[in-house]
């Protein structure tokens, strides 16, 4: 294990923010991680770097979790339980599952990031969340260096949320995630509008896993910027949940406001719509801006600092609060 000094993190975060790590180490195994923790515990973890906004140089030891490997845990005629280690790339794992005809992850194609971070924010897209397939998460406790298994239930999954963002935040390092996938009689989730339209445009009536994955890839490519070309962290804000009372007021002034009912008293509003209505979509502010095809995505045109992006986010939050009376919560992990 070698500690490198003064390493740029530009290629380690999908926003492409150029800050430095004073010290940087790559971890390839659980043994290495346990050895490191016996010497130093106050680490700054980085994996796929796809859900973070860095705003300054990192003083702590930046620890790049690069533990690889995919293994089969259990299998019968109908299901397979597969474990993937934290450093595996998410999308490559999804493609592997689709190629093997294992169902459950196809709607989550092309999401940036690695396996180790997928449970933290319970990644989701097109009507599916990763919590629907996760059976367990194995994580190393930083204080004791012991491995702990979290069952699906223990992970307390919620919309873009889990125990790893709350009760045990910063206490564990995720080592592997296990998934239960179908081998036949797959449950397809194609009712999400854009998927239906995409499949219909190709005249596909009974899609395969691969055809659904391809449809999702096509939709994402048409709306979401490729982080390799334009730095970004996916949706910057969560979709806000508002009361029916507020919604009834808003619909009078904004008759086209979209909404999804989540209970008798609450509705979810697409933040992208609010931001677009407020006039931000496609606007550039210095080195950063709001993506032209999906207003929920903030982008780095090349040389933005994290602070510039935070300022833009605050401007958007203020405008949305003043215009609609809705507080937008940042979904990305802002490192200050
Ligand atoms: N909309 C607009 N203008 C925009 C963007 C969206 O009016 O610029 C409205 C439209 O009415 C559209 C609706 O918002 O019908 C929903 O848009 P979209 O289907 O693009 O989804 P989203 O709610 O904006 C969420 C996730 C995405 C995920 C998509 C698809 C969150 C915070 N974001 O976005 O996740 O890919 O649904 O399921 O829940 C991510 O978390 O990084 C991410 C990309």
Is the sign of the CA dihedral 164, 165, 168, 174 positive or negative? Answer: positive
Q: Which of 233, 270, 320 to mutate to test the pocket of ligand 1 (most atoms within 8 A of CB)?
A: 270
CA–chain centroid gap for 11, Å, is 18
Cα(93)–Cα(115) distance, rounded to whole angstroms? 8
What's the confidence (pLDDT) of residue 193?
78
Domain ranges (residues) in the chain: 4-65, 70-182, 231-239+270-335
Would you call 207 helix, strand, or coil by DSSP?
A: coil
Cα(77)–Cα(81) distance, rounded to whole angstroms? 12
Question: From the CA of 37, how far away is ligand 1's center (Å)?
Answer: 39
Is the pLDDT at 192 greater than 90, yes or no?
no
Give residue-wise pLDDT tens across range 282-329.
999 999 999 999 999 999 999 999 999 999 999 999 999 999 999 999
Is the pLDDT at 67 greater than 90, yes or no?
yes
What's the confidence (pLDDT) of residue 36?
97
Identify the architecture of domain 4-65 in CATH.
Answer: 2-Layer Sandwich (3.30)
Give residue-wise pLDDT tens across range 13-36.
999 999 999 999 999 999 999 999
Mean pLDDT, rounded, for 234-239: 98
pLDDT > 90: percent of the chain: 99
Domains 70-182 and 231-239+270-335 share a fold: no
pTM for the model: 0.97
Give residue-wise pLDDT tens across range 261-286.
999 999 999 999 999 999 999 999 99
Identify the architecture of domain 70-182 in CATH.
Answer: 2-Layer Sandwich (3.30)
Residues 6+ apart with CB under 8 A from 226: none
Residues with CB under 6 A from ligand 1: 125-126, 223, 234-235, 238-239, 258, 270, 272-273, 276, 281, 294-296, 331
Class assignment of domain 231-239+270-335?
Answer: alpha beta
For the beta sheet containing 70-75, the strands, ordered from the edge strand earlier in sequence to the opposite edge, are 70-75, 79-85, 172-182, 134-141, 147-151
248 is annotated as an active-site residue: no
Mean pLDDT, rounded, for 148-152: 98
Mean pLDDT, rounded, for 217-242: 97
């Amino acid at each position: 294990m070698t500690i490198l000094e003064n390493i740029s993190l530009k290629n380690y975060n999908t926003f492409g923010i150029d800050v430095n790590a004073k010290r940087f180490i790559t971890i390839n195994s659980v043994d290495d991680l346990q050895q490191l923790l016996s010497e130093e515990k106050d680490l700054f973890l980085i994996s796929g770097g796809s859900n973070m906004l860095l705003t300054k140089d990192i003083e702590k030891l930046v620890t790049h979790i690069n533990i690889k490997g995919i293994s089969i845990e259990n299998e019968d005629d109908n299901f397979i339980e597969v474990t993937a280690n934290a450093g595996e790339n998410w999308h490559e794992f999804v493609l592997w599952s689709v190629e093997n005809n294992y169902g459950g992850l196809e709607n989550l194609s092309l999401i940036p990031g690695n396996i180790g971070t997928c449970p933290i924010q319970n990644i989701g897209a097109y009507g599916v969340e990763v919590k629907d397939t996760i059976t367990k998460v194995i994580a190393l406790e930083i204080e004791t260096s012991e491995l702990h298994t979290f069952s699906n239930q223990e992970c307390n999954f919620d919309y873009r949320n889990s125990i790893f963002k709350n009760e045990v935040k910063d206490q564990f390092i995720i080592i592997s995630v296990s998934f239960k996938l179908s081998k036949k009689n797959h449950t397809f989730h194609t009712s999400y509008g854009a998927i239906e339209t995409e499949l219909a445009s190709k005249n596909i009536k009974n899609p395969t896993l691969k055809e659904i994955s391809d449809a999702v890839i096509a939709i994402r490519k048409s709306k979401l910027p490729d982080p390799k070309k334009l730095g970004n962290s996916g949706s910057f804000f969560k979709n806000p949940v508002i009361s029916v009372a507020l919604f009834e007021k808003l619909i009078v002034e904004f008759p086209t406001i979209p909404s999804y009912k989540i209970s008798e008293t609450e509705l979810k509003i697409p933040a992208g719509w609010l931001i677009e209505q407020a006039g931000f979509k496609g606007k550039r502010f210095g080195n950063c801006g709001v993506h032209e095809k999906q207003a929920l995505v903030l982008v780095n045109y090349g040389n933005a600092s994290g602070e510039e992006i935070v300022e833009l986010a605050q401007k958007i939050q203020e405008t949305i609060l003043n215009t609609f009376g809705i507080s937008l919560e940042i979904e990305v992990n802002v490192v200050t």
